[in-house]
Amino acid sequence: MKALSRILALFMLLAGLASFTSPGASRADESDGAVRLAALNIGKADCLLLLWEDQAYLIDAGYEQTSPALLTMLNQFGVTHLNGVFLTHCHKDHYGGLMALAGSSISIDAWYAAEIYYDVKPNQHPAVLAAAAKGTPVTWLKAGDALPAGAHGQFDVLGPTTVNDDNENNNSLVLRFSCPQGSILLTGDMKEDEEYDLLKAGVFSPTDVLKVGHHGDNKASTLQMLRAVQPKVSLILTSSEEERDTPARSTLSRLAAVGSQVYVSQDAHDGWLVTLRGGVPTVTDIQWDGVPARADGIRLSIDVKNDLLTIYNEGSAPLSLAGCTLYSSKGDELLSLPADEIAPGGQYTVGSRTTDGPCDARWNEKRVWHQKKLDLALLYDAFGRPLACTDNGLPE
């Protein structure tokens, strides 16, 4: 599936629909009145920055371990002040970076979240905790609300319309941004149930840019919804290594059926930048100024019996582990790695208290990897970008 999405991206590159850029180049063009939407390549997680006139808005914040990528994006675009931060729903791949943002020097006018959510105590809501760290309250949004965005723009809240106590994805805050330059539909992790609610309410209309729901899986972006929205460009934020069934072949087929150009975050360097002028979106590939390119040739493997993970550097350059983070889905655990280096062709072992024999680094945990069910391991660099992903070889 990753190969399929890369083929689609290559086709669009050859067709001249995408080209390489850097935030420095985009900042030079800000006086042209265009809308800009930056979408980070941080795995199966959402983090978007919308720039319009003198306004800046963040839509979701990715994982905790990808928060350096969020802060890098704000720095690269020269953002020191956010007019608003929107949390679409209470899942860690959308709210994980909020506390890092709250602890930064970025000033924030308003925090927004849907008044409808499920299975979260009000005083533990991620938006409430982040806003409280900045000494501000959350503004709760409901379907039908409208928020001005600068002098000539507006966010319209389309959903959720009803609480879904089965799947928090279907309580996603769904926003339509519109201005004289065009429109953008932001869907969080909306799936079929919420789509049907909004189709019934008749709130969908043709849009220029679509942020595809739920990482492009097969239970989102129904053909009925896509026919109502008719997106010219669609963004899918996912990693096929982290979530193997995304982007789903069926979702890509439905997007193709309505004539939408598709860009998958895993196919970008550091992210995609959509520039919208006069209803015409163009998409460019971002690589941060002054930031090293993402290391390649990195591979992980897990020895379940000995509770040992090995990092292999199969690339041509040394890999510095300074600032790198290792993630284990068992217990949702993070380990900050020592500032060691792995030479080309070298390897580095990370064990636990259960691991027999020496290892280069060690979790202060009895066991880090499950022995009877599926686990994921991800390695992130100092800029919050995923370098490698593997599992423990067991069924779900």
Q: Average pLDDT per run of 10 along the chain, which is 396 residues long? A: 42 40 48 90 98 98 98 98 98 98 98 96 97 97 97 97 96 98 98 98 98 97 98 98 96 98 98 98 97 96 97 98 97 96 98 97 96 96 98 91
Does some domain include residue 293?
Answer: no
Is residue 145 domain-shared with residue 212, that is, in the same domain?
A: yes
The Cα–Cα gap between 369 and 307 comes to 6
Integer CA distances (angstroms), 396 to 111, 204, 299, 370, in order? 36, 36, 22, 11
pTM score = 0.93
DSSP E strand boundaries for 9-152: 18-21, 35-40, 48-52, 55-59, 81-82, 84-87, 107-108, 111-114, 138-141, 146-149
Sheet containing 261-264: order of strands: 146-149, 153-159, 174-179, 182-186, 209-211, 233-236, 261-264
- The last residue of one of the domains, among 246, 261, 286, is 286
Integer CA distances (angstroms), 226 to 210, 233, 292, in order? 9, 12, 38
CATH code, domain with 335: 2.60.40.1260
Residues 6+ apart with CB under 8 A from 13: 19
Residue 6's pLDDT is 41
DSSP code, position 375: -
107 burial (CB, 10 Å; 0-12 / 13-18 / 19+) is exposed
Residue 10, helix vs strand vs coil: helix
Is residue 265 domain-shared with residue 116, that is, in the same domain?
A: yes
- The last residue of one of the domains, among 240, 261, 286, is 286
Neighbouring C-alpha atoms within 13 Å toward the C-beta of 340: 16
Is residue 161 domain-shared with residue 33, that is, in the same domain?
A: yes
Does some domain include residue 396?
Answer: no
Residue 18's pLDDT is 42
The Cα–Cα gap between 250 and 365 comes to 41
Name the amino acid, one letter, at 290: G
Residue 325 belongs to what domain range? 298-391
Is residue 280 domain-shared with residue 310, that is, in the same domain?
A: no
B/e letters for 352-368, b = 16+ CB within 10 Å, e = fewer, are beebeeebbbbbebebb
- The last residue of one of the domains, among 259, 286, 313, is 286
Instruction: Give the total number of structural domains in the chain.
Output: 2
Which has the closest alpha carbon to 350: 331, 330, 376, 369?
369
Q: Please count the other Cβ atoms lying within 10 Å of the Cβ belonging to residue 7.
A: 11
Break the chain down into helix, strand, coil percent, rounded to 5.
Answer: 25, 30, 45
Neighbouring C-alpha atoms within 13 Å toward the C-beta of 162: 11
Name the amino acid, one letter, at 163: V
Which has the closest alpha carbon to 199: 215, 178, 168, 223?
223
Are 49 and 75 contacting, i.e. CB atoms less than 8 angstroms apart? no
